[in-house]
Chain A
Amino acid sequence: MSRTGVTLPSHGLWNVCNREELEIIDNAAYKILNDVGVFMDDADLLKNAEKMGFSVDYGKKVVTAIPEYIVRENVRKAPRNFLLAGRDPEWDLIFEGPGRKQFWAPECGATDRLDWDEKKKTYVRSRVGSKDTLYAAKIVDGIDDFDFNLYLFDAAEEGHLGLPSELNKMNAMLQGTTKWAGHLCTTVSDIKEHDYVAKLGAEVAGGAEELRKRPLFWTVYNYIGTLQLNRFNSWLLRAAIKHHFPIMPAVTAGAPLMGPAMAAGNTALSHAGVLFMIALQQYYDPGTAAVANNIVFTLDPFGGKGSMSAMGTLGSCAMNQLWHEFYGLPTAQYSGVGDGSFDEVAFTLNHSETLQQLMGTDMMFEQFSGGALDPRMIVVAAEIAHQGRHFMSNFDEIRPTAENLALDVIKEVGVMGEGWMTHKYNIDRLKRWGKTYSLDTRPMDTWLEEGAPSWVFDLCKEKLKELEKHEPKPLPKDTVARMNAIVKEGNEKLKVG
């Protein structure tokens, strides 16, 4: 029995487009696929596209004249009901159609770690490796408000040494969590590294066939530039098809610098890319799960970094509607702002997650800067998830049922209202009031007397110390030994430089 996810309300969520407007955007996406096409830096994938009936310019590596009916026919094969498996089935993410449940996790992939030096009053920055991936995985594993576990620290150290970083990273993730283990990303060693990761997954799942039935992770790729699938992402798609890994495609055409500067156009462009990727996957690996990433990416035109914008929010909401209403598939979404000051990160994370959850996005990624992460931010994300889940869990109380309206009790208590505090109706419902996860909610005077500790720097630090004690249920020793042997072999055979 799975314990994950918050049940989403059947109606009342935020929509930005009516059906007619969605149809126009959907049709525009097919027009883009037909007229503009997609760049793919991989001969095998280009051949695969040609076999599907698309027109391929091998010189330019561009697939064009992509007929709508072929895309639709194949996207339709993507399953509506599927699961992404936790190592412990209690943490399975069960999808029964789109917009039914909402799952939460923090997301980052930082290459550096920031630790506050109290004496020098400054941050110390250090490069991270798979030991840090493991550290963060264990912390996320111990936070009940997180339904799954996406790597927060990259195996950058291994990458810098020329070792297969994805293999080392996934080894840490699979050992460090009992939850679904998230993102398998691009590698520099063709799909050989993914073959090793598939072996790792099979060890944990109990065989390749079991891994197929209970996928412990998925592959994540995105178009860079407008509709440009580089060779790393192309290899990843081939690996996904070969090993039946679920996929989560995204388009990161960051408007207004790398994509159209209006929400409708950028949404159509993002939608086109995701449609194409899922069609290609489903043609060659029908029935394996695909989750559309509803991101409509925007960049700050003053600095070039990822940004929170009206366009990104509106576009993501429209994408969500498209995939839910027209294709019956769940969605995932990165929120937050990416690289920036912690103030900006915490604020935009909270703001964007609130909007995102109201769209009814199925998988919520609370995203931090991919550069450097202070682990205290995990606690920040946990607080936001905690509050968000609480809100969605209580959504049903606005439905004007007889019980929720409580007209008989209102009449009974009368105009002065003294009886409300101890009335059984309210007493029975006090459990609906949530408590914060890490915030200090005591009166201001108490807070001042105790030295006015800040949430991010003081309280989250204390909470983190507590969370660092969590140890996930370990894998059997012989399984770990075999996994480590796979990594050792991979490190030896795939090392570069």
Chain B
Amino acid sequence: MAEKDKILEKLAKAVVDRDEKAAMAAVKEAIDAKVDPVEAITKGLSAGIKQVGEQFGNGELPIPFVMLSGQVLGKASEELQKHVPKGQMPKPLATMVIGTVSGDIHNLGTSIVTAVFNAAGFRMYNLGVDQPVENFINKAEEVKADIIGASALMSNTLLQQKFLVDTLKERGLRDKYIYMVGGGAFPGEEWCNEIGADGYATDVSIALEKAKKLIEKK
């Protein structure tokens, strides 16, 4: 195996093993060996996180491990990006702003989606809980997001998902973004159609598949 391939394998393995020390050592090795940093990210770290995502999807990996792998990926990627020539930064599959709607402070679902979507190659911006409509839109505009995702666990906060899409329409921004809804308040197809969202899911694996399809169509 060529030296480059060995380094790429080490990067992937460090992500799968959630081993930050090994990841940073592999990053250093990659830089010293003049491996293309973009390739180190896309064929090394990303290959690892893809494997993590698959294991999670198969019910083989608990959520905390996905999150830890995501953290390792983030740190290693940050270091590698310092060496990427301007204009050659690898593009994410899509950029998504996600958060829990105003009044709701449940964050487990959005944390899971953030971790798994990150693992699948999305660039995620997780706003956190109890987020007013304004914050979703402002962040989406700032980071040039492709997708806005709004989560609601409680049935009495579900209406906020409608307010968000209504505000997007009012400002003429509706077509600019894919709008996905989810959360334990179980917004089914009926709700999704009624408010005019593009997709919904209450399961992260389904959400990921839907998001990918919606991005393809966009």
Contacts and interface: CB of A to CB of B under 8 A. Distances in A.
A97 interface: no
Interface stretch (A51-59, A195-203, A300-308): A300-308
B156 A258 contact: no
Contact of A304 (B103, B109, B157): B109
B64 to A, nearest CB: 6
Given A187-B156, A257-B64, A112 B59 contact: no
B155 A154 contact: yes
B106 A224 contact: yes
Contact of A159 (B63, B109, B155): B155
A327 to B, nearest CB: 28
Nearest to A155: B155
B92 interface: no
A75 B32 CA distance: 65
A127 B188 contact: yes
Nearest to A128: B155
A414 interface: no
Contact of A165 (B156, B162, B188): B156
Interface in B182-203: 184-186, 188-191, 194, 202
A346 B204 CA distance: 24
Contacts of B61: 302
Contact of A125 (B62, B163, B188): B188
B156 A302 contact: no
Given A188-B103, A302-B62, A497-B159, A111 B186 contact: yes
Interface-centre pick from A162, A256, A299, A370 (highest chain B CB count, 10 A): A370
Interface residues of A, number: 37
B208 interface: no
Interface string B158-184: 110011000000000000000000001
Contacts of B194: 160
Interface string B53-79: 000100111111000000000000000
A497 B156 contact: no
A225 B186 contact: no
Given A111-B185, A125-B188, A126-B190, A160 B158 contact: yes
Interface string A25-46: 0000000000000000100000
B169 to A, nearest CB: 14
Interface stretch (A85-93, A204-212, A227-235): A227-235
A372 interface: yes
Contacts of B103: 188, 230-232
Interface residues of B, number: 34
A496 interface: yes
A74 interface: no
Interface in A355-399: 370-372
B63 A304 contact: yes
A6 interface: no
Contacts of A78: none
Contact of A232 (B156, B190, B191): B156
A186 interface: yes
A225 B112 contact: no
B2 to A, nearest CB: 37
A156 interface: yes
Contact of A497 (B56, B154, B162): B162
Contacts of A156: 155, 158
B107 interface: yes
B105 interface: yes
B143 interface: no
B108 A299 contact: yes
Interface string A222-264: 0011001011100000000000000000000010111000000
Contact of B202 (A41, A228, A371): A371
A186 B154 CA distance: 9
B186 A165 contact: no
A156 B186 CA distance: 10
Contacts of A302: 56, 59-63
A168 to B, nearest CB: 12
A127 B186 CA distance: 10
A231 B59 CA distance: 35
B63 A301 contact: yes
Q: Which 6 A-B pairs have the closest CB atoms?
A: A301-B62, A371-B186, A230-B105, A188-B156, A156-B155, A111-B155
11 contacts: A111-B186, A165-B156, A225-B107, A228-B105, A232-B156, A257-B63, A299-B108, A301-B62, A302-B63, A303-B63, A497-B162
Interface of A: 41, 111-112, 125-127, 154, 156, 159-160, 162, 165-166, 186-188, 224-225, 228, 230-232, 254, 256-258, 299, 301-304, 339, 370-372, 496-497
Interface of B: 56, 59-64, 103-109, 112, 130, 154-159, 162-163, 184-186, 188-191, 194, 202, 204
